[in-house]
A and B are shown apart, each in its own frame.
Chain A
Amino acid sequence: MRKLPGGVAAIGGGVWLTFSALAHGWNMPLGVTALSRDIHGLHMTIFWICVVIGVVVFGVMFYSLFRYRRSKGAQASLFHENTKVEVIWTTVPLLILIGMALPATATLKQMYDAKDADLDVMVTGQQWRWHYEYLGEDVAFTSNLATPRDQIDGAAAKGENYLLEVDEPLVLPVGRKVRFLLTSDDVVHSWWVPDLAVKQDAIPGFVNENWVRIETPGTYRGQCTELCGRNHGFMPVVVEAMEPDAFDSWLAERQQAAAREASGVDREWAMDELMSRGQQVYESICASCHQVDGSGNPPVFPALANNPALMAERDRHIATVINGVAGKPMPAFSSSLSPVEIAAVITYERNAWGNDTGDSVQPSEIQARLE
């Protein structure tokens, strides 16, 4: 009997919690694309279907529990079959499901229609960052978590966008159809921005497709959603959507910067120039596995400091960064880093943390090896 008030209170509490939470924005976001709104609509439709079925079914259940209590002298009746009822409660749910499947099918078809895009962006997952390449535009960059370590460790107050902020967001135009081509350099990742209703796995050896047409300028945040190793929780996605004009001038600016970077390949770089650039690259790309102090994380990620074997083999060191190591977590950086960056980071690794080999590696040498 205590079941009754308790159970009813529990269900009542659950219903109350559900609606107040949904009302306070703890729900799937409506998002900023036509498709995200469709998906939100499907979500709310199926939610309400479940609520109605739940109210009816649990209603009958709790009525029976209350009405037919043995303590109130209820006598059990003998029926245990009724073909008519059984047919009804098999077919009615079936019809509801068909009613739900129709709009879901229509939405899914649209989600799969990535044709006629205005802009193609290659999204590459890497442990643990995203690399973006605007195909045919000569613009590419890596996007890293920007939250300082102090905030994670509790040594500093956490900022507003804690864990959802990056050094370089993906910039996209509103109003244009953008096609994403997703892949991975290492393990399976998944690129997700709730407001864009785009979640697509980035899988090594595969190129997946998805697309978006953003309607409202703004900053939209998401995260990697497929467990991808140690820093899976520290691999945010930030999209900045801007008006097409602003986007075009942003793109032109990035193209000029890329051209300047390319011209750097031909000149001789001084040691301290290489070291400071190398440190920058190392800390944003390599440190997530090999650690800021080069101590690595053996046995999976070898140490670079105190590694005389590697320091003795300059050639192998260069080859490893360019080509990666087959069958091991070390990816090939030939496509995601520029020759300048590769030269600088190798120089840095060979001279930091007491390695002091005195070697410098020039961008031109890397360029030659890449060709």
Chain B
Amino acid sequence: MAPKLPPRLPPQHPLEQAGEAAGPAGHAEAGYHHGPKGLLRWLLTTNHKEIGTLYLIFSLSMFFIGGIFALVVRAELFQPGLQLVQPEFFNQMTTMHGLIMVFGAVMPGFVGLANWMIPLQIGAPDMALPRLNNFSFWLLPVAFTLLLSTLLMPGGGPNFGWTFYAPLSTTYSPPSTTFFILSLHMAGISSILGAINIIATILNLRAPGMRMMDMPLFVWTWLITAFLLIAVMPVLAGVITMMLLDINFGTSFFNAAGGGDPVMFQHIFWFFGHPEVYIMILPAFGIVSAIIPTFARKRLFGYASMVYATSSIAILSFLVWAHHMFAVGLPLVAELFFMYTTMLIAVPTGVKVFNWIATLFQGSISFETPMLFALAFVVLFSIGGFSGLMLAIAPADFQYHDTYFVVAHFHYVLVPGAVFAIMAAVYYWLPKWTGHYPNERLGRWHFWTSVVGVNLTFFPMHFSGLAGMPRRIPDYALQFADFNMASSIGALLFGTSQLLFVWMIIKCVRGGEKAPAKAWDGAEDLEWTVPSPAPLHTFETPPRFQHQEH
């Protein structure tokens, strides 16, 4: 059934076509859906592809909601003075923007990709725990409806920043904070269950013959991410439970007047928070490690060192949390320890970037939209890495900390980093999901407007931060005006250009140039051996994977 495409390069399949032995009849049956129809079908589905689609649609909706909040913030900051919103509402917007983007857009986006692609990349028929998979997803719409509804409650929604430092988030918080805690608990449970499922799938359902060191890097990075999730989401759950007790049951974990310790809040939060940062970037490394070799038509350079680098980053991520707290008054030895460990992270991260570039070197490179996003990722993520290295230098961090320099830094890692990687993945795998190539012209427009928008938004923030503008302020001194105006214009451009993304997706679902099973001539992994679009059920008979010499 796999359509033959004119190979531009001799295909080097690691695969014996055993899985295809079922022949056309097998696939006709594989496409058949049994069970409830209509809405109930989506509510009850246990199919990894359908759940993956649900996650991705959810993530995209949250991306737009969080984006609208960001645009409210940028509109207020367009000029000095208070024009559109009052500080109370401004604080709710910055907080909700962060929470929605981190927990609602980026994390579910990667989980959606994992659901769709991990079984396809390892030759598994589905996720290991399909019903749990359904439950993990449906927790999210409930959690985020609850979170968004706090905006309408008396006293407003969360207004203490996405880092919700106590006691601002406990003693001084609006009454809706208890709902915020509940919704975060639900999102956390969803992540933990999702992570368990991903680990179970990867460890147990690989195609016969596929060893760990044969797995595509997207699978590897997700395996490591899933362990990070299981390690730190309970820590988040712990800290918000302590908040719950402080707010409603009279405890004093974080209330200094009752003998509590506000600094302990920050330690616990960042023990979760720093690995969380890598939860949002490691799968992106996996995606880029799939796309660059495909469009350079050359095997990934240093596969093993990629795996080791990812693992070292994950381990180091538990040893650097207090670099977010250089100004809280840690003892000197602690400052030094966290400065050194943080600087050390630059080494494995550098290895990854060097490997990608070595993959490009002497390749045969073409520039389809997924590749454009992946290349922009390498450059712009590296810029975020450079500012991260600067922030690691503790004495200088006293000047950078909590300014727009930090805002610029983490948005470079998260937007042209994590978000661009998700977009690259969407362009890359859309042919597999829909059977059609994404419209290349639309993709290029989307790419260039996004790149210009993102840089116009975030690059000037480096300077407003260095010049002394603190983050999370609704109004600012006159010397910051020009760069803020540039950022606001960039944000509007970036925001509106995402409508092109939606349009492209809709067009691609409805039609377009037909894609063969192996949609990109340089692509190597197992997902490209099943037809495009991938039928509802794939690899019901496991394929035989043949080890490729590394």
Contact = CB atoms under 8 A, between A and B. Distances in A.
Contact of A43 (B302, B350, B396, B473): B396
B323 interface: no
A61 B378 contact: yes
A139 to B, nearest CB: 25
A370 interface: no
Interface string B373-405: 001001100110010011001111011111100
B301 interface: yes
A205 B463 contact: no
Contact of B172 (A25, A85, A186, A208): A186
Contacts of B503: none
A186 B252 CA distance: 14
- For the residues of A in contact with B, the DSSP-based class is mixed
A238 B250 CA distance: 38
B470 A105 contact: no
Interface of B: 9, 80-83, 87-88, 91, 154-155, 159-161, 165, 167-168, 171-172, 174-175, 250, 255-258, 260-263, 296-305, 327-329, 332, 335-336, 339-340, 343-344, 346-347, 350-351, 353-354, 357-367, 372, 375, 378-379, 382-383, 386, 389-390, 393-396, 398-403, 444, 448, 451-452, 455, 459-460, 462-464, 466-468, 470-478, 483, 550
A54 B382 contact: yes
B390 A46 contact: yes
A250 interface: no
A33 interface: no
A69 to B, nearest CB: 6
Interface stretch (A74-82, A268-276, A313-321, A345-353): A74-82
A40 to B, nearest CB: 8
B386 A50 contact: yes
A203 interface: yes
A144 interface: no
Interface in A1-34: 1-3, 6-7, 10-11, 14, 17-18, 21-22, 25-29
B377 to A, nearest CB: 12
A74 B9 CA distance: 12
Given A7-B379, A54-B382, 5 more contacts: A27-B467, A39-B395, A58-B382, A60-B357, A326-B257
Contact of B395 (A38, A86, A226): A38
Nearest to A165: B477
B382 A57 contact: yes
A107 B395 CA distance: 7
B302 A86 contact: yes
Nearest to B173: A300
Contact of B466 (A14, A28, A107, A188): A28
Contacts of B260: 205
A369 interface: no
B367 A108 contact: no
Most buried by A among B299, B362, B470: B470
A328 B171 contact: yes
Contacts of B402: 190, 192, 199, 225-226
Contacts of B80: 158, 162-163
Contact of A161 (B299, B353, B473, B477): B477
B379 A58 contact: yes
Contacts of B460: 21
A25 B474 contact: no
Contacts of A263: none
Contact of A7 (B304, B375, B477): B375
Interface residues of A, number: 109
Contacts of A101: 339-340, 343
Interface stretch (A129-137, A147-155, A166-174, A277-285): A147-155
B470 A225 contact: yes
B472 A232 contact: yes
Closest A-B pairs by Cβ, 10 of them? A205-B256, A233-B473, A208-B329, A50-B386, A26-B463, A225-B402, A80-B299, A204-B256, A76-B298, A76-B364
A224 interface: yes
A97 to B, nearest CB: 5
A80 B298 contact: yes
Nearest to B86: A230
Given A188-B168, A230-B88, A201 B328 contact: yes
A42 B327 contact: no
A21 B403 contact: no
Nearest to A324: B257
A61 B379 contact: yes
A229 B258 contact: no
Contacts of B451: 10
10 contacts: A7-B379, A25-B467, A42-B395, A43-B396, A97-B346, A101-B340, A152-B475, A163-B80, A223-B473, A229-B160
Given A227-B160, A230-B88, A111 B398 contact: yes
A79 B361 CA distance: 10
A188 B87 contact: no
A206 B395 contact: no
Contacts of A335: none
Given A89-B350, A190-B402, A2 B466 contact: no
A108 B394 contact: yes
A227 B165 contact: yes
A154 B81 contact: yes
Contact of B305 (A7, A75, A86, A105): A86
A218 interface: no
B352 to A, nearest CB: 11
Contacts of B304: 81
Contacts of B339: 101, 104-105, 108
B399 A199 contact: yes
A111 B395 contact: yes
A227 B472 contact: yes
A188 B266 CA distance: 11
B394 A70 contact: no
Contacts of A326: 257-258
Nearest to A159: B478
Nearest to B472: A227
A154 B83 contact: yes
Most buried by B among A151, A161, A163, A225: A225
Given A151-B81, A205-B260, A3 B470 contact: no
A158 B171 contact: no
Contacts of A89: 350-351, 354
A162 B395 contact: no
Contacts of B360: 61, 64-65, 68
Given A85-B358, A164-B477, A197 B398 contact: yes
A256 B468 CA distance: 36
B121 to A, nearest CB: 19
A65 B258 CA distance: 61
A104 B326 CA distance: 13
A39 B332 contact: no
B467 A203 contact: no
